[in-house]
A and B are shown apart, each in its own frame.
Chain A
Amino acid sequence: MADTRTATGTGASEAAHAAGTPSPDAPYRPLSDSDVAAIHEATLRVLAATGIRCGHEGALAAYRDAGCAIDGDRVRFDEDTVMAAVDRAPRRITLSGRDPDRDLHLGSGRVYLGTGGAALDVVDPESGDTRRGRLSDLARIALLVEHLEHIDFFLRPTEPQDIAVAVADVNKYYAALTNTRRHVMAGINTPEGLRQVFEMASMIAGGDEALVERPFVSAICCWVVSPLKIDPHSTGLLMAALRLGLPVVMATAPMAGATSPVTLAGTLVQMNAELLSGIVLAQAASPGARAIYGAVPSVANLRDGSYLAAPPEFGLMNAAAAQFARFYGVPIYNSAGLTDSKCSDVQAGYEKAFSIAQAALAGADFIHHAAGMLESMSTISYEQYVIDNEILGMAKRMTRGIDMSALDDAVAAIERAGPGGNYLMDELTLERMRTETYQATLSNRDSRREWERAGRPDIVAEARRRALDILAQAEPPGLDPVIDAEIRRRFPIEC
């Protein structure tokens, strides 16, 4: 693996970008530079004074090698150790698609948005009922996402409830990889599952080296339990995945008021301390490791301690977290697009729009949860993917901002047309109309008369119809038949 700050092994050309949207300057910055500095200093104070608790021997050894102060299961960090690890962490990490035009160049200044979640429930697209998620849902949603142009990657949205944990990992990835050529990411439950997923992906890639060179799968490890405590089981998986050379998201999800201080600043301090301790661990365990700063901050519902998915503070903290990743020069994985609504209504529309716009305008590299979710983290809905695809497209257009390149031509055109002129047939109009304006995919732009004549189409029904059409018509990309047969022979595939 590359040990420089550029971890993409391919040197993939910028010209191949098709996914994501450029946001070189991050137009939205909720924190001032001095606020960022204050939170950074506070983070270092927490890491030095309190540090983290680590009950994993391998991780303790890695921390010792990195120069941390170890006292029993307590690990404390000084500034030099932390910043040396940050310096070693790659500035850019490419999460490959199966085709190069689906590659995600994290750290390149582009924003990518995709699915997420480990929802238990699914709104059945045929019956409309809410039921437990199945392996077949994973496969179908992967195929749906493959045909939604503004969704850039596939992070497994549901943990299938119709399959045993022991064989879930390889089946989740198999269901995804046979239905989408976008990058596939998921949480992994067992060491055996990790081994199987790696082996299966290697077979598809044509060998371990080819997979590590162009990793079209990656893993999420929630290796820390807020506040400040390492989870030994996940940490074992994390270190195994890093040894294999896979990109890994190191995610932490402090909940303001429950597992972190109630103030947003306090939650950001604690989250940042956890994530920096993770960078030290990853870079000590595997120098140059493609470990991604995984920020999943949230707010507790102080009525009952439950998770509050979509208050304004959610988008705010995720945007702030993106500022931190930029401050350290590492790519970020964060969240947007959650809602507390139970149906695809107005509430779902505005709650999702807010956090998606905030995270994208803040220039976050990899924004998950951004499509398909309802009812906090509990439910996914096929029609909601189609609705959210539109929100993502609009947020990307917003993030792309204002292209100044033709301003002189435009001034000349204004002078040509003069007062009272018209621009409909102007050559600049014909040349730029498709790139300047976002082409709506779902929003209804008919006049009221046309809309009434069409029987007042309901946006949710329309979205569901589109989802079912895609599923009925799209051919799953599948795998090479020989490799597919060998995978099915070697692993307990159940779909």
Chain B
Amino acid sequence: MSGAAGGQVSLLAAEQVRAIIDGAWRVLAEAGVQVNTRTGREAFARAGAQIDGSLVRIPRDLGERLLAGAPSAVTLFSRDGSRDCTLEGRQVHMGTGGTALYVIDPETGAHRRSTSRDVAWCARLCDALEQLDIFTINVFPNEIASTDHIDANRFYWSLANTARHVMGGIYSQQGLREAIEMAQMVAGGAEALRERPFVSFITLMISPLKIDDTYGEMACTCAAEGLPVVMPTEPLAGTTSPVTLAANILMHVAETLAGVMMVQAVSPGAPVIAGSVGSTTDMRTVQHLSGPIERAIINAGVAQVVQELRLPLYSTAGTSDAKAVDAQAAYESALSNMLVMLSGANYIHDSAGLMDFDLTVSYEKMVIDDEIIGMVRRVMDGVPVTEETLAVDLICARGPGAGYMAEEHTVRHMREGRYPPTIADRRPREEWAAGGSTTATERARERALALIREHRPTGLAPELSAQIRARFPHIRDC
């Protein structure tokens, strides 16, 4: 599936995009990046960057040479070929994200710590929801005590419950190696996995302008394995980046380019994805915010700049600061998903289910956000203009004062492009009241529970499953 194209909204003019790129190169050349991973630093040195202790300065001409080898398209494959997503240009794909520590229990409504079972349920729900293309593992298995065992559990329970592409943050070098080995077992070998990678990995940059030792090494491991890796960054306007949104976008670009260039220096041509997560700071509490409209503006701006740089982009929208699945959760998610989708970001993660400063996943919100994304996709499809749709002959034939309900043209086109809602209630008040005056959240919870209970995803074959669990005995039942 190619994904509908965005680009209907441009918040930046072409010369503003270029000004941000110029500024980012200045920062990389003059301020430089602190690279705490030895593998990455040595690769930068070999490529010809200026190294001063852990500080790496990258002159623009060197940087552009490194970027020239980076792929402009990266395909995140689904396991069964039903939902392959090529991240390039202005193609838009949607998925979950986190990593939340809590869920709102769909059965009891209680706010509780998430477990491996929530990984499985979220994967299954994602698999069932039409609008979600990619499952980014969105919750943390709190019952797993050892950091080294988290990744095997998260990836196993995801792969067992969805055939969608599985992307995940990683918690340890051992965990990363196990997740890769597990995926190779599923694929039938390392080469088969490299050819159609149905898993990918998220590391992180530390704003401002730092590549961490542990995460940097993990990114280098992915690069060496030839598996897709995202180098996202999350500068917060006012604390870890200057307060202006333009500068925050610039900081995103400088930082994620540093990550992309490091991967290219380690392994030229490796599938690497630029990434933006940034937001603003609540100046009252000095905490990051998830639902402010500025997060959408920032991610939309980064999308335009990264399109100019011809790199695939992992982006962020749909998040909310609401603690309940209420009007606030709805308008914050709707506004940001719409703006970032219409800006043509390639893979928008976090887009379904996240709330409460990205700490909590709600199953009913996943279902609601699926509807929000469906509605934006209808908007992205736009207004088809042809002789047939313009309907001049029909308008002239019907003339003033006529009706169109019974027209053949109406019957022919009535379903075209109409998005059938799954949660929205469009009935008159009397019918709605007769049906129990439900809120959209109540309807969404019902749908979420039904899908979790009834949806049968393409999981792992029993034999394969047994092999994986024998190889990684620390995968727990859930």
Q: Which residues of A contact B (CB under 8 A)?
A: 25, 27-31, 35, 38-39, 42, 45-46, 49-53, 74, 130, 225, 227-229, 257-266, 268-270, 273, 300-302, 305-306, 308-313, 315-317, 320, 340-354, 357-358, 361, 375, 378-379, 387, 390-391, 394-395, 397-398, 401-404, 406-408, 410-411, 413-415, 417-424, 426, 428-429, 432-433, 436-438, 440, 442-448, 451-452, 456, 458-460
Contacts of A300 in B (CB 8 A): 405
B444 at the interface (CB under 8 A from A): yes
Pick the residue among B280, B357, B368 that contacts A447 (CB under 8 A): B357
**Whole-angstrom CA separation of A225 from B12 in the bound complex:** 41
- Find out whether the CB atom of A401 lies under 8 angstroms from the CB atom of B297: yes
Closest to B249 in A: A402
Determine whether the beta carbon of B208 is less than 8 Å from that of A419: yes
Q: Which of A50, A261, A420 contacts B400 (CB 8 A)?
A: A50
**Interface residues in B, total, Cβ within 8 A:** 127
Which residues of chain A are within 8 angstroms of B325 by Cβ–Cβ distance? 346
A312-B375 contact given A263-B391, A413-B242, A451-B323, CB 8 Å threshold: yes
Judge if B65 is at the interface, Cβ distance under 8 Å.
no
Given A227-B400, A317-B383; A414-B286 close (CB under 8 Å) = no
User: B interface, by DSSP: helix, strand, loop or mixed?
Assistant: mixed
Judge whether B85 is part of the interface by a CB distance below 8 angstroms.
Answer: no
Closest B residue to A416 by beta carbon equals B31
Query: Across the interface, which residues of A come within 8 angstroms of B391, CB to CB?
Result: 261, 263, 265-266, 269
Known: A261-B409, A354-B375. A341 touches B323 (CB 8 A): no
The answer to whether A398 and B293 have CB atoms under 8 Å apart is: yes
5 new A-B contacts, CB < 8 A, other than A311-B421, A402-B16, A437-B280, are: A228-B399, A391-B335, A406-B244, A414-B254, A443-B322
Q: Is the CB of B31 within 8 A of A456?
A: no
Q: Which 9 A-B pairs have the closest CB atoms?
A: A349-B330, A410-B247, A266-B391, A53-B400, A349-B327, A419-B34, A419-B209, A350-B334, A353-B334
A426→B281 CA distance, assembly (Å): 14
- Determine the chain B residues whose CB is within 8 A of the CB of A49 once the complex forms: 392, 396
Which of these, B10, B33, B247, contacts A411 with CB under 8 Å?
Answer: B247
Q: Please, which residues of chain A bring their CB within 8 A of the CB of B371?
A: 350
Minimum CB distance partner of A347 in chain B: B440
A445 pairs with B289, CB closer than 8 A: yes
Q: Are B333 and A407 in contact (CB under 8 A)?
A: no
B385 with A420: CB separation less than 8 A: no
Q: Is the CB of B339 within 8 A of A357?
A: yes
Query: In the complex, which of the residues B239, B326, B409 contacts A459, with contact meaning CB atoms closer than 8 Å?
Result: B326
Task: Choose one: A261, A266, A444; the contact of B328 (CB below 8 Å).
Answer: A444
On whether A349 and B331 interact (CB within 8 A), knowing A25-B13, A397-B297, the answer reads yes
Chain B stretch 326-354: residues in CB contact (< 8 A) with chain A: 326-335, 338-339, 342
Instruction: Return chain A residues, CB-CB under 8 Å to B388.
Output: 263
Given the known interface contacts A30-B382, A227-B401, A394-B335, the answer about A346 and B242 at a Cβ–Cβ threshold of 8 Å is no
Q: How far is the CA of A436 from the CA of B206 in the complex (A)?
A: 23
Cα–Cα, bound, A301→B404 (Å): 13
Q: Which of B250, B331, B399 contacts A390 (CB 8 A)?
A: B331
Chain B residue nearest in CB terms to A260 = B404
Among listed B20-28, B125-133, B181-189, B455-463, interface-contacting one = B20-28
Contact indicator A313/B378 (Cβ below 8 Å) = yes
Q: Report yes or no: B210 in contact with A420, Cβ–Cβ below 8 A.
A: yes
Partner of A443, one of B9, B210, B332, B444: B332
Complex Cα distance, B417 from A436, in Å, reads 38
Q: A38, A262, A417, A448: which contacts B414 (Cβ < 8 A)? A: A262
Which residue of chain A has its CB nearest to the CB of B23?
A411
When chains A and B are docked, how far (Å) is the Cα of A375 from the Cα of B425?
10
Contact residues in B for A458 (Cβ distance below 8 Å): 324, 326
Q: Contact check: which of A343, A445, A447, A456 meets B439 at CB < 8 Å? A: A343
Across the interface, do A264 and B389 meet the contact criterion of CB distance under 8 Å?
A: yes
- Chain A residues with CB below 8 A from B394, complex form: 261, 266
A354 to B331, CA, bound (A): 8
Q: A391 vs B356: C-alpha distance in the bound complex, in angstroms?
A: 19
CB <8 Å contact, B395 and A29: no
Q: Is the CB of A38 within 8 A of B390?
A: yes
Q: Smallest CB-CB separation from B251: which chain A residue?
A: A414
Cβ A402 vs Cβ B327 within 8 A? no
Does B294 sit within 8 A of A, measured CB to CB?
yes
B224 at the interface (CB under 8 A from A): no
